[in-house]
Structure 1
């Protein structure tokens, strides 16, 4: 499932997925996560999709 990092709330990352937001622990994300990143969530692994971010910008 893919999502867009909307904002940070302390140790929480708010990700928009299919028009709805989910709050996930920042510890699940790579250290270089930033607002606006496109991510793919596969089980308990989160991958930053750099190529898709470049297409959105």
Structure 2
């Protein structure tokens, strides 16, 4: 099992960061509700969303931004 994060969409592809490298994956292979910033889990031939990890990462980013922009 490996995990990746959707960095952006370019045409029919999603650019996904996996272990520090980027891979282009056809959007048609992703879950229909996948969006930028989502964590993907790759298990054999199946790709699923890890909503829990996505939320944890979003909260961490918000906390870092709050610390950076404190008055």
How far residue 44 of structure 1 moved from its aligned partner, in angstroms, is: 1.7
Alignment of 1:1-57 (within 5 A): 1-57=2-58
Report 1 or 2 for greater relative contact order, CA contacts < 8 Å, sequence distance ≥ 6.
1
Q: TM-score, normalised by structure 1?
A: 0.95
CA RMSD of aligned residues (A): 0.6
**Unmatched segments (≥5 aa) in structure 1:** none
Aligned length: 57
User: Between Structure 1 and Structure 2, which shows a larger proportion of helix residues?
Assistant: 2
Larger Rg: 2
Poorly superposed stretches of 4+, deviation over 3 Å:
none
User: Between Structure 1 and Structure 2, which shows a larger proportion of strand residues?
Assistant: 1
**Unmatched segments (≥5 aa) in structure 2:** 59-71
Q: TM-score, normalised by structure 2?
A: 0.77
